[in-house]
Structure 1
Amino acid sequence: MVRKIINILAIDIGTQSIRAGIVNSQGTILAVSQQLQEVDSPFPGWAQQQPKIWWDLTKQVISDVIKKSKVEINSIKAVSTCGQMHGPVGIDKNGNITTEWTQIWMDKRCENICNKIRENFDESKLIQITGNPITTGWPSFKIKWIKENQPEIYNKTKWFLVPKDFVNYQLTGVASTDPSEASGTYLYDYTTNKYSNYMAEVLDIDLSKFAPINNSYDTIGKTQPKISREIGIPANIAVIAGGGDFMVSLLGLGLVKEGTAVDMTGTSTLFVVHKDKPIINPSVQNLRHVIDGWIPFTILDTGGLSMKWCKDFLSSVNLGEISYEQMIEMAEKISSGSEGLIFYPYLLGERKQDNIHAKGCLFGLTLNHKAGHIARSVMEGVGLALGRDIQTFKNIGVDIKQVFCVGGATRNKLLYQIKADITQIPHILTDEPEASLRGCGLLAAFGLGFIKSFEEIVFKENANCIIIEPDKKKAIEYKALQLEFNRMYDHLIGYWKGLVVPNPS
């Protein structure tokens, strides 16, 4: 029996862009539309965006992609959304936005909140409940900051919703979240897969302000007629709970097997593995997958942004726009090691408490260094930071034989050759440029019964995949550079800790 094929509206609320796609229930992408956006950083460590802009751009890309796809409107049977994680959007009892600016995942203004929790509670015991170390990334600390610094906003807020849940709320009027996001609130008990009343007491925030948890593939509501008319989609079609962007991207690539290791570089660089259970370790963070299992990970907040910073910097001194391709060409002309120039890619600090005030740093500048050296050292710095993270996983017994790569940075093959050479592990550049949108479509297809098992979509290497093998001749050179990177990193921690950072709160 031939299965019926439907179309699904997929949405990705990214950090640097918002995208929509029409995806059919077999995972084929028919059309994509995108709108770019910026991150506002008014003070050191702050990173914020406006939910109103998210929604305005979402409506725009939906309209654009429907026109571009030329599909029959009534063939769209569901909406499925993923997005950047952890940024709490306040919604009042009337459905109005209470947080004009939302602290996004990389915002670190709640550092003092985190410090107070560490001072008053045993973090090692909290990790045994949440599965996670205390970091500024988790929404509960951001919400605690709102409670202490903007009590009028906290008090009138009925729901705090992360970006994709905010969009789902606009579509349905229903407040809901999924396990991938709930597990990252720092209010989630990984042993029960439920919110923890105890953790809410620890943080002294109201658990009722957090949305009910549904499976990532569950239907949480239907599109409201008024909104449907406004954006040009059918009314009363299913809206799927969705999930965090990088877990949904893994699904979109078909990377559903336990043990898979993935480098995901877009704005940040995430190094993730798919495991049956979380890895309880203070250096590793854990989130529920959108399918069965967990995603232990490490993160470099500016892994991808470092490339953009470098391009913008070189453009500013060149008095003219330099493309990524030109930047890569500059770097290709420079030998491995950048003639002793080392870049530390911590432009927005780190999530680790001992290095939250880290800064970007070019170490070892000489009169011989030119623009190309800076370009290559930035790529090597991101690779060396990845090398530290991979070693963290190896030290706790995770066997990594190959690394799948996804994200906008995969267009930069030099970057991944550098990563392969530093880690001496093959890197596979996957051939699905819209993994997150495809993953949204597949979540909906499974939830609505058009896919019987996620095993149907297991990743298969094909001619379009690029396998980057490590250059064995560079192993000794990069091993020495990694040791030097690590040695200086340890010294810089002491310097960064002593920095006086103004706190506008």
Structure 2
Amino acid sequence: MTGDLILAIDVGTGSARAALVDAGSGAILEIAASEYDQIVPAFGWAEQRPADWWSGTVVAIRTVLGKHAGSKTGIAAVAACGQMHGTVLVDSQGRLTRDTAPLWNDKRTVGLVAGFEHSNPPSSYLAESGNPPTPAWPGFKLAWLRDNDPEAYQAAATVLMPKDYINLHLTGEIAMDEGDASCSFLMNPRTGRWSSAMIERLGLDAAKLPPIRSPLDILGHVTAEAAGETGLPEGIPVLVGGADYPVAVLGSGVVSPGTASDVMGTSSIITLITPQPLLDPEICNVRTVEGHWGPFTLLETGGDAMRWARRAFHEKSLSYADIVAKAAEAPAGAEGLFFLPFLAGERLGAHRNARAQFFGIGAKHGLAHLHRATLEGVAFAVNRHIRVMEASTGQKLERVVASGGGARSEFWLKIKASAYNVSILVPRETECGIVGCAAMAATALGRFAKVEDAIGHFVHYEHEVLPDPAWAETYARMQPVFDKLYRHSQALYDDLDRLEQR
């Protein structure tokens, strides 16, 4: 049995998870999780303690090892992925200089971002950063820490992302993978190295940035100290690993141009696979595990639109299945009713203060129309993003792979397939991040020539959702109206903000 298993670790926002995966088939044999909380010191802030990530990882590893007989001698490699953008400061001994790290959803840098946008036109930084500015990026988080916690910043020798901190505990070695680095606002997408221009523009210390390495590289090996804490045997190879988002895209089978990933959780993220990044103020870019680029757009309110409707219309008394069944009572297009799903604003563009709205309500409309319009509004908003990326690449989308909680609703998938007018595939294994970690490790161990081969062997699709021709025709006529509503409503958002300030 020796060498037949891979230990995959996923450092999420809600929990640390560990899984034992069959190195030959990619099948998940055991999985365990250990939860921890977010800390909210002020409105719009979100932090966690990196020490909690490590203690949670230890608990999860020990749990899966205890569940699977012989696993200690059967693990061939360890591969981790983790939440992106969580900015961890450590000193030269690997000790935290700040007990907490601001997370991906922390908005404390919004003022820094606004100031940067005011002083720097996109043409002056997109080629160096590969991305438009947002409060999520670690470059802005580092600038905030420099200004607001100078003692921790000055004492820090290196900045790490969450999975890098776990790898440091496992191996004593430091690196950042290309995926996390590409979304730092500090990596030049052409060279794959830290951008001295962006570092200087943000006033940061280049010496604090770790080496950038391929996620498939062997970073180091489990140390005696880590073995004692986790129960793992000393000396097991540990990969550099990857950011959870591109690793999950990999684990869903999206590895070639013409295919898109639609990750529907709280938000909705559409990712294309392209040879080069798309340098556009409305598009973000992440380096993919297999070495391509993943231009992506993020709709802040994806699955959260249904969660809002369940609370607002039913005070949580109905299940999500009940809401979907109610939406199915209305015809496609909800008889001319539109929903703009910007309940939490937008991440990119000049209108982060965008608002949600229903448009076109008439006496004929009822609750079923409202629910269907909510689901369709998310599909229209995502389709707008798809067409922005298609226009930038000149490449037509051929198929979409769905994952996340939204992939469990067949009805919503049918709406989206019809709005996009392409088929949607649903992976059999929903733990796409774990599968991606296993594929990376199996490739690094030499079981596959390239990671795409591992994915072809590991990933299988449960079913395919095809567009409904009649729905697709209705949605094609509605999409231009949705787009016009989107553009014309922007003039009102600042007015709404001023009303709330009084």
Distance 1:231 1:372, change over 3 A: farther
Q: Which runs of 5+ in 2 are unaligned?
A: none
Q: Is the 8 A contact 1:216 1:291 kept in 2?
A: no
Q: Is the 8 A contact 2:414 2:466 kept in 1?
A: yes
Shift of 1:300: 1.6
Shift of 1:181: 1.0
Equivalent AA in structure 2 for residue 390 of structure 1: I
Summarize deviations over 1:395-424 as a string: whole Å, max 9, x none: 221211221222232111122111112122
In structure 2, the partner of 1:13 is: 11
Which is worse superposed, 369-378 or 271-280? 369-378
In structure 1, the partner of 2:400 is: 403
Equivalent AA in structure 2 for residue 490 of structure 1: R
Distance 2:81 2:357 in 1: 33
Summarize deviations over 1:379-402 as a string: whole Å, max 9, x none: 222211111111112222121122
In structure 2, the partner of 1:474 is: 471
Distance 1:101 1:365 in 2: 47
1:185-200 superposed matches below 5 A: 185-200=184-199
Length-normalised TM-score, structure 1: 0.89
1:277-356 superposed matches below 5 A: 277-313=276-312, 316=315, 318=317, 322-356=318-352
Distance 1:48 1:124, change over 3 A: same
Distance 1:34 1:385, change over 3 A: farther
Of 477, 483, 487, the match for 1:486: 483
In structure 1, the partner of 2:384 is: 388
Distance 1:85 1:28, change over 3 A: same
Shift of 1:82: 0.9
Equivalent AA in structure 2 for residue 73 of structure 1: K
Q: Give 3-state SS (helix, strand or coil) of 2:240's partner.
A: strand
Length-normalised TM-score, structure 2: 0.90
In structure 1, the partner of 2:450 is: 453
Q: Is the 8 A contact 2:440 2:451 kept in 1?
A: no
Distance 1:353 1:253, change over 3 A: closer
Summarize deviations over 1:465-488 as a string: whole Å, max 9, x none: 321111111234323432332222
1:177-326 superposed matches below 5 A: 177-313=176-312, 316=315, 318=317, 322-326=318-322
Summarize deviations over 1:220-272 as a string: whole Å, max 9, x none: 12223223222222222111111122321233234322332221223332111
Q: Give 3-state SS (helix, strand or coil) of 1:353's partner.
A: coil
Q: Which runs of 5+ in 1 are unaligned?
A: none
| Identity of matched residues, % | 33
In the alignment of these two chains, the number of paired residues is: 497
Distance 2:99 2:336 in 1: 45
Distance 1:426 1:74, change over 3 A: same
Distance 1:10 1:374, change over 3 A: farther
Shift of 1:372: 4.5
Distance 1:482 1:463, change over 3 A: same
Summarize deviations over 1:101-157 as a string: whole Å, max 9, x none: 433223333122122223333421211222222222221012112222332332233
In structure 1, the partner of 2:64 is: 65
Q: Is the 8 A contact 2:3 2:73 kept in 1?
A: no
Distance 1:150 1:264, change over 3 A: same
Distance 1:49 1:306 in 2: 26
> RMSD of the TM alignment (CA)?
2.8
Distance 1:38 1:332 in 2: 37
Distance 1:11 1:227 in 2: 14
Q: Give 3-state SS (helix, strand or coil) of 2:216's partner.
A: coil
Summarize deviations over 1:149-176 as a string: whole Å, max 9, x none: 3323322333221121122122223221
Distance 1:333 1:94 in 2: 62
